[in-house]
Structures are given as C-alpha cells and as structure tokens.
Amino acid sequence: MGPWLHRRFGPETIARVFGSLPEELRSDLDPSSSSLGALASSWYDARIYHHVFDALLENVPPEEHASLARDAARMVLEHTLRGIYAKLFRLMATPPLYARYVQKIWDMHYDTGEVTIEHLSPSRALHRVQGWTGHHPFACVVNRQSGAIVYAMMGMPHVRIEHEKCAWPICEAVYSWKV
C-alpha cells in the first residue's frame, strides 16, 4: 500500500497524515519510505489505516472512491505478484483454488475476519467477509476490487462485479466472468 499512497497522494501529504497519527501508532512507521518503514503487519493495525484513509479521503468525492480503490488494488497486487510469481499464478491459479486459499490470503493482511467464496455457477462467485473488526469502507472497496483483479489475473475473461454490498458485519460481492 505504501508505494501507491506515495504515488497517488505525494510524499508531503503522506508525511502530514502519518504525522497526525497518535504517538504510539507512529513509532514503527517511516512515512518517507515507500514501504512506510514498517513491517506489513504494523500498517495493518486497523487504527492506522482507518486514520490514514479517513484523512486522505476527506477531500475525495465519494463517487471517485471505487476507481481510487481499483487503482490501489491493482498496484498492491502487481507488487505482490511480480515476475515469476505472476507467471506461476496465471498458469496455476483457478477459481476453485482461490476459494480454497482465500482465507489464508486474507490472513496475510488482516488479523480478524472470516472470508468465504461460494461458486453460484462455474462463472459466478459470491465472496463474503464477516466479523472483520478492522472493517473500513475504503479498505473494503479495495478488497472487493482486488477480487475482480485476481479473477482477471487468473485469465477469466470479462470479469465484472455483478453485485456488492458493504454492510458490516457482512460484506459481499458477486463476480462473474465469461466461460
């Protein structure tokens, strides 16, 4: 998320926003580094991303949040799946495997929340997140947009989000693609 924040909002804004975090949350972070100088896990302290997203989105109109989230999701995924991993992923990943491992992938990013994928048909999948105590509406859109990008990266054509609902404690998205 760090490189995207820097590119999208600029180092000065990022420094200001992180500087306004309460002292105890700031100690492990270095806002001038694109990795934020943090172990991924400290950024994922919900109090940090809640504060940062709220501050950054204050002046962004709500209708622009989805495209902003898509941009963030794409950059984070491209960063995670680089080079050989991206190739392997394209070759080996399938919607059933994604469904099987989605909780493990989720747990790499967040420490609460149960996520399931139910295939409604061979080309439609219902993703459901529940009990995510770190829920933030923008992080939730980033997650839903990530789902669509993951299907596209697995080679599914014409992926779209057919339906989505952000209503903590249960958030859902239905993805469809052509078979």
Give the footprint of Zn ion on this chain (CB under 5 A): 140, 166, 171
**Residue 62 C-beta: closest distance to Zn ion, Å:** 14
DSSP-assigned letters across all residues of 75-87: HHHHHHS-HHHHH
> d(Cα 138, Cα 49) in Å, to the nearest integer?
10
Pair of tokens at residue 13: 């804004």
**Residue 79 C-beta: closest distance to Zn ion, Å:** 23
Q: Sheet of 114-121: strands edge to edge?
A: 114-121, 124-130, 170-176, 160-167
Give the Cα-Cα-Cα angle 57, 63, 64 (nearest 5 degrees): 55
The smaller minimum CB distance to Zn ion, of residues 14 and 171, is found at 171
The smaller minimum CB distance to Zn ion, of residues 28 and 162, is found at 162
The smaller minimum CB distance to Zn ion, of residues 12 and 63, is found at 63
Pair of tokens at residue 144: 């839903």
**Residue 141 C-beta: closest distance to Zn ion, Å:** 8
**Residue 82 C-beta: closest distance to Zn ion, Å:** 28
The smaller minimum CB distance to Zn ion, of residues 29 and 142, is found at 142
